[in-house]
Amino acid sequence: MPKVNLLLPAEPDVLGDLYALEEGLLIQLRPLPDEDGESWSPLPGHVDGEVIYQSYLRVLDALGRGMGDVVYGRADLVPGVPVLIGADGRTELVQLLDVEVEARDLIHLGWLRDELGKAEDDLSTFLDDVAGDRHAPWWRGEGTDGAAVARWVRRALAPVLKTEITREAAKDRADLLAVVRAGAGQERIELTAAQEELYGRFMVDLIRATASTRVDAELTAFATGLR
């Protein structure tokens, strides 16, 4: 199975919900024995919750412990990854990681996103049941029904599954990936003004894909070091 390269920022505002998926939902979707000893999951029969869960864990493993430490606030930087410096020569921007994952694992996560988006029967009932928990990681004050949970999952997976991409955005990503790869092994990568603009477009695009509709993307971008 082929591999896919992801370009991901070490930024909790972008990746926090991806890391929260395990506790927030995925564990509950794993098949468990029912009263008759048969395995049961609210997911449709053609979608295996355990397969999805293991794929999710492999993706997080590929991101590495350093990324997890940043997302959970245990560290400010991912070790061994260059710090991006703005064109002014002083401003530190969010680190970008070039991460290789199995294509099949992204396919499995895509199954989850798509099934939740069209949930019915047992899955719809399950999502409605869990949707009222205002202490859950997905709670954003945007509704207490299954559709709100499905929207949260779509946003959480957007950094690794984002498919709504224009030709211009794809070129931006490819150009930025080339910059990151050229600077691999260095302590810092000093960006030109054009590269910093490229970085800014990439980050704002990701933030808009992952942010709650109640979050102003421009303010979030400012908080992550963009000007």
Which residues lie closer than 8 Å to 71 by C-beta, 6 or more apart? 10, 12, 15, 16, 19
Instruction: Give residue 4's pLDDT.
Output: 92
The dihedral through the CA atoms of 119, 125, 128, 131 has a sign that is negative
CB 87 within 8 A of CB 193: yes
Give the domain extent around 27.
3-223
So what's the pLDDT on residue 219? 47
Alpha carbon 87 to its chain centroid, in Å, reads 27
What is the token pair recorded at 48? 């295996």
- Note the pLDDT of residue 141: 56
Q: Which tokens hold the place of 156?
A: 């959480």
* pLDDT for the residue 214: 46
The segments of the chain whose pLDDT lies below 50 read 213-215, 219, 223, 227
Q: How many helices (H) and strands (E) does the chain have?
A: 10, 7
Q: What is the pLDDT of residue 205?
A: 86
- What's the pLDDT tens digit per position in 59-87? 999 999 999 999 999 999 999 999 999 99
Which pLDDT score is estimated for 220?
54
Rounded to whole angstroms, how far apart are CA atoms 189 and 45?
48
**Token digits of residue 38:** 């048969």
What is d(CA 151, CA 117) in angstroms, rounded to the nearest whole number?
8
What is the C-alpha to C-alpha distance for residues 21 and 41, in angstroms, rounded to an integer?
Answer: 17
- Whether 84 and 198 have beta carbons less than 8 Å apart is answered as no
Pick from 130, 113, 128, 136: which is nearest to 55 by CA?
113
Element of type H or E holding 110: helix 103-117
10 Å CB burial of residue 54 (0-12, 13-18, 19+) is: middle
The SS3 call for residue 65 is: helix
How many domains is the chain partitioned into structurally? 1
Q: What is the pLDDT of residue 227?
A: 43
pLDDT recorded at residue 213? 45
Q: How far apart are CA 61 and CA 145, in angstroms?
A: 31
Q: Is 171 helix (H, G, I), strand (E, B) or coil?
A: helix
Q: Identify the pLDDT of residue 135.
A: 67
Give me the long-range contacts of 184-187 (CB less than 8 A, separation at least 24): 184/82, 184/98, 185/82, 186/82, 187/82, 187/83
- pLDDT value of residue 138: 59
pTM of the predicted model as reported, rounded to 2 decimal places: 0.88
